[in-house]
Chains A and B, each alone.
Chain A
Amino acid sequence: MATVVILPKQGQSVESCIITEIKKKKGDVVKKGDVLFAYETDKASFEEESPVDGIVLESFYNEGDEVEVLLNMMVIGEPGEDYSGSENIGTENKGADITGADASTIEPTKSTKSTESSPIIQQFNLSEKETPIYRDDSTIQQSFSSPRAKVLAKKEAINITQLSGSGPKGRIIEKDIKAVLENRPKLTSLAKKIVAEEGLQAQGAGSGLAGTTKSTDLVATPMNATYGVDYEDKKLSNMRKLIAKAMHASLQNSAQLTHHLGADARRMLELRKTAKNAFESGKLSTNITLNDMVCFAVIKALKKFPNVNSHFLGDSMRLFNKVHLGLAVDTERGLMVPAVRNADDLSITGLANQLKEVAGSCKKGAIAPELLAADSATFTVSNLGNYGVEMFTPVINLPQSAILGVNTIVPRPKDLGEGVYAFVPYIGLSLTYDHRALDGGEATRFLKQIAIEIETLELDLF
């Protein structure tokens, strides 16, 4: 009997995933354990392995499609085996089906959060399942253009979807097309045909009669006058889109500012040396890094400043009893911020282990999506000290109220008393906070508290 492979549900909040790669196509022979397809949620990517040996009898979706979780992805079985009934139509758990951009939006599903977070992805309720309405962007756009404009645009091979109209309510009128024509290089009729059919574009002066653009002058990507053709346009990954959206939203929707302050790092460096020796000699099973220590100090400070360990929710503040510490992790796929839940319960070794684990999972793409949600952490630490950054302004992971940027350690002159001045290693701390949630005084006191915690750090190493 044929085996149906579904799109697994990766975490509570995940409603749908983007299929990033179909590794086995319809008709391919697969062995148990072969990767069938890869998919990604808004933060992590996964691969689905074949549960059985056989051939791919059917594959319901394509790369780039957004598919709701638990829908049937593929059917594996023996050649010729009947797999009717495995189509997603009438699937009991979901009455809806989601495909890529070529299908129409009928009614956005309200259950997913992605209506907000990823507008590029169209989701819809297929009440009219048997007759999906296909559209391409041009037909939608064309309804906002005058018939004369449409005729001229078609004749002159002008992509009307890329125009903004000057008519009422942005309606594209003939004048707009004529304006494009005036600025466009002269095209031979063959060139026009190719522009219309193959989407190639003219660029600069052509090589034909008196600079006319010939078919051979057309290019897929027009040369930028300044940069030439030394670039490629790359579609954003789903994750990149989400990072972009989150970062932009953070700066647009909050009142962020950053305070910078240095902490005497002598004690911490000493502790680090001890910890390192202990780890290398096998006395300690975990390598406790400076970052672990800073995080440890931050947790202690947060316990003393509950207002910072919070989410700002517009008309209310959510103050947390526990510290769920977010850690910015640089991965190949982009920035991820996994949370260590209940970090205030952990010893320094426990914290170090947990931080390593979540960071490692992110890099492998195996992190649980729940831990990546912005609201799963109460405060975030972003450490660029390793890279020698001396000062930066981290961006708050909303709805959190603040984020700490950790900088590199630089020697600074310090008055050691009794007329003794010395260069002392200082670690830079950059606290970005949402002024809606916190005032400067409190933020500064909190930042100072972190410095104090760092300078007076006590670690129970053994």
Chain B
Amino acid sequence: MTYVVKNNKMEIHDLIIIGGGPAGYVAAERAGHKGLKVLLFEKKSMGGVCLNEGCIPTKTLLYSAKTYENALHGDKYGVFGDNIRFDFSKMMARKNKVVRKLVAGVEGKMKMNHVTVIKGEAMIVGRGKEGVEVSCEGNSYKSKNLLICTGSEAFIPPIPGISDSGDIILTNREILDLKEQPSSLVIIGGGVIGMEFASFFNSLGTKVTVVEMLPEILGGLDLEISAMLRDHYAKKGIEFNLNAKVVKVEGNKVIFEKEGKTETIEGDKILVSVGRRAVTAGFGLENLNVELFRGGIKVDEKMRTNVPGVFAAGDVTGFSLLAHTASREGEVVVNNLTGRNDIMRYNAIPGVVYTNPEVAGVGETEESARAKGIKFRIAKLPMAYAGRFVAENEGGSGICKVLVGEKYGEVIGVHMLGNPCSEMIYGACMAIEQEMTIEQLQEVVFPHPTISEILKETIFSF
């Protein structure tokens, strides 16, 4: 079944989606499931940056690295192995296999939910009486509603010399296609993406240097936890240059200013991970007079743009830049289109850094709460309070921190360092979404022995 019509009698779709990333494909899946006639355009590969160049490939590689490290340090657990080694190209090959498998999975979901997927570059023609018109490779398509999920791309800052360094300069995309492990890597930007690659290559023995403009890595996350993670990696050999402003790139040299002094470091490769930019050009957005805001498409709490029938979700809104935010935003659009009133909330969106150990947090940090003038109480415990953590993390450390409102004791923020907090943080998301109080959480039964018990322990220490 296809809706491509070349004659005048044009089929009107309920929803056209441009971009098949976590916002687009999830929205398509939900909308198709609800019976809407959905058409999705994807110019590259289903799954978007997340699946092809982001979340999934990095997690795959990081798991290889973790497995290697575990094997390497098995002696801590009384397990000994000889000649433990890794094969970089096999790691990469496995990553590609995982990505392929999941892309196929997304395509399968589209089929299952009767979503028509067109591989090609969509171009918005305009908006008329019958809705929005989009063209693709000479064909024209109409829809009552349009959802723009064109995502974001790595931002390359205009550092002198950066464009002359050729393939020494990498972004998240190129670094995932490396054929060989670099012996040294300079990472400009110590945010989440930078730190995950730092972690991966550090595990494999690459000499990693992080150059960060701000006073601390992982900007926006809990400051104490960020510092603890940095300490951990500093001990593992990563060199950190904080408050360091890169002024020039010369070949494989990165020249930066730090505390008034100019320093130079060299790397086989240079990863630029200073941030991402919404993709708002190249698909005819200008034909809709859509309002932009901070470089992204401006939307309201129902993800509506200023143009009726036109929605935006995901990185293109330039707001959250997280796959799970994007998916939820896409769902908000579909819910409202299918008669369920729904609004986007950003106060309980978890943030996770898949380093080893992992960092996970949701809600207010001490810093953000203070900045907002929220009165809160705080409790924190070392991860070692959870028996399972001690059993499985020989010599490991971590922390769990809970922030509650001063007066009523409702959970407003939870931040953790220590494996596998990425899998535990959703519990805190639910507590924050539901404005659960200390008393309520204290009545929840946590499975024993699990590391998640650390949350309960921390709650009881209020």
- Contacts known (A189-B440, A193-B408, A194-B408); A207 close to B345, Cβ less than 8 A: yes
- Contacts known (A189-B440, A194-B408); A209 close to B341, Cβ less than 8 A: no
Q: Contact: A189 with B435, CB < 8 Å?
A: yes
Q: Contact: A212 with B341, CB < 8 Å?
A: no
Specify which chain A residues have a CB less than 8 angstroms from the CB of B434 in the assembled complex. 188-189, 208-209, 212
Specify which chain B residues have a CB less than 8 angstroms from the CB of A208 in the assembled complex. 345, 433-435
Given A189-B436, A205-B341, A207-B343, 15 new contacts (CB under 8 A): A188-B436, A189-B434, A189-B435, A189-B440, A190-B405, A190-B410, A190-B436, A190-B437, A191-B435, A193-B437, A207-B345, A208-B434, A209-B433, A211-B341, A212-B434
Specify which chain A residues have a CB less than 8 angstroms from the CB of B410 in the assembled complex. 190, 215
Specify which chain B residues have a CB less than 8 angstroms from the CB of A311 in the assembled complex. none
Is residue A214 contacting chain B, with contact meaning CB distance below 8 A? yes
Distance (whole angstroms) from the CB of A219 to the closest CB of chain B: 16
Q: Which residues of B approach A to under 8 Å, CB–CB?
A: 341, 343, 345, 405, 408, 410, 433-437, 440
Query: Most B CB atoms within 10 A — which of A189, A191, A211?
Result: A189
Specify which chain B residues have a CB less than 8 angstroms from the CB of A194 in the assembled complex. 408
Specify which chain A residues have a CB less than 8 angstroms from the CB of B435 in the assembled complex. 188-191, 208, 214-215
A209–B432 Cα distance when bound, in Å, is: 10
8 A-B contacts (beta carbon < 8 Å): A188-B436, A189-B436, A189-B440, A190-B405, A190-B435, A194-B408, A205-B341, A209-B434
Specify which chain A residues have a CB less than 8 angstroms from the CB of B343 in the assembled complex. 207
Residue-wise interface mask of A (178-216) relative to B, using a CB-CB cutoff of 8 A (1 in contact, 0 not): 000000000011110110000000000101110110110
A208–B435 Cα distance when bound, in Å, is: 9
Specify which chain B residues have a CB less than 8 angstroms from the CB of A209 in the assembled complex. 433-434
A348–B435 Cα distance when bound, in Å, is: 75
* CB < 8 Å neighbour of A189 from B341, B345, B405, B437: B437
A209–B437 Cα distance when bound, in Å, is: 16
Specify which chain B residues have a CB less than 8 angstroms from the CB of A215 in the assembled complex. 408, 410, 435
Specify which chain A residues have a CB less than 8 angstroms from the CB of B405 in the assembled complex. 190
Specify which chain A residues have a CB less than 8 angstroms from the CB of B345 in the assembled complex. 207-208
Which A-B residue pairs are the 7 nearest by beta carbons? A190-B435, A188-B435, A190-B410, A193-B408, A209-B433, A188-B434, A190-B408
Distance (whole angstroms) from the CB of B270 to the closest CB of chain A: 44
A189–B432 Cα distance when bound, in Å, is: 11
Specify which chain B residues have a CB less than 8 angstroms from the CB of A214 in the assembled complex. 435
Distance (whole angstroms) from the CB of B441 to the closest CB of chain A: 11
Distance (whole angstroms) from the CB of B329 to the closest CB of chain A: 15
Distance (whole angstroms) from the CB of A100 to the closest CB of chain B: 28
A211–B341 Cα distance when bound, in Å, is: 8
Distance (whole angstroms) from the CB of A192 to the closest CB of chain B: 10
Distance (whole angstroms) from the CB of A385 to the closest CB of chain B: 54
Specify which chain A residues have a CB less than 8 angstroms from the CB of B436 in the assembled complex. 188-190
A100–B434 Cα distance when bound, in Å, is: 41
Specify which chain A residues have a CB less than 8 angstroms from the CB of B437 in the assembled complex. 189-190, 193
A172–B17 Cα distance when bound, in Å, is: 54
A211–B342 Cα distance when bound, in Å, is: 7
A214–B435 Cα distance when bound, in Å, is: 7
Distance (whole angstroms) from the CB of A213 to the closest CB of chain B: 10
Specify which chain A residues have a CB less than 8 angstroms from the CB of B408 in the assembled complex. 190, 193-194, 215
A193–B343 Cα distance when bound, in Å, is: 24
Query: Most B CB atoms within 10 A — which of A190, A208, A215?
Result: A190
Residue on B nearest A193 in the bound complex, by CB: B408
Specify which chain B residues have a CB less than 8 angstroms from the CB of A188 in the assembled complex. 434-436
A190–B433 Cα distance when bound, in Å, is: 11
A207–B440 Cα distance when bound, in Å, is: 21
Distance (whole angstroms) from the CB of A223 to the closest CB of chain B: 16
Residue on A nearest B343 in the bound complex, by CB: A207
Distance (whole angstroms) from the CB of A155 to the closest CB of chain B: 13
A193–B436 Cα distance when bound, in Å, is: 11
Distance (whole angstroms) from the CB of B415 to the closest CB of chain A: 20
A399–B413 Cα distance when bound, in Å, is: 68
A268–B36 Cα distance when bound, in Å, is: 80
Residue on B nearest A209 in the bound complex, by CB: B433
Residue on A nearest B440 in the bound complex, by CB: A189
A126–B90 Cα distance when bound, in Å, is: 93
Distance (whole angstroms) from the CB of B428 to the closest CB of chain A: 15
Specify which chain B residues have a CB less than 8 angstroms from the CB of A193 in the assembled complex. 408, 437
Specify which chain B residues have a CB less than 8 angstroms from the CB of A211 in the assembled complex. 341
A211–B343 Cα distance when bound, in Å, is: 9
Distance (whole angstroms) from the CB of B332 to the closest CB of chain A: 12
A215–B434 Cα distance when bound, in Å, is: 10
Specify which chain B residues have a CB less than 8 angstroms from the CB of A212 in the assembled complex. 434
A190–B410 Cα distance when bound, in Å, is: 7
A266–B410 Cα distance when bound, in Å, is: 78
A190–B345 Cα distance when bound, in Å, is: 17
Residue-wise interface mask of A (356-399) relative to B, using a CB-CB cutoff of 8 A (1 in contact, 0 not): 00000000000000000000000000000000000000000000
Distance (whole angstroms) from the CB of A174 to the closest CB of chain B: 24
Residue on A nearest B433 in the bound complex, by CB: A209
A17–B435 Cα distance when bound, in Å, is: 48
Interface residues of A in 207-232 (CB under 8 A from B): 207-209, 211-212, 214-215
A226–B274 Cα distance when bound, in Å, is: 50
Distance (whole angstroms) from the CB of A203 to the closest CB of chain B: 14
A231–B267 Cα distance when bound, in Å, is: 67
A205–B343 Cα distance when bound, in Å, is: 11
Residue on A nearest B411 in the bound complex, by CB: A190
A27–B421 Cα distance when bound, in Å, is: 59
Distance (whole angstroms) from the CB of B99 to the closest CB of chain A: 33
Distance (whole angstroms) from the CB of B411 to the closest CB of chain A: 9
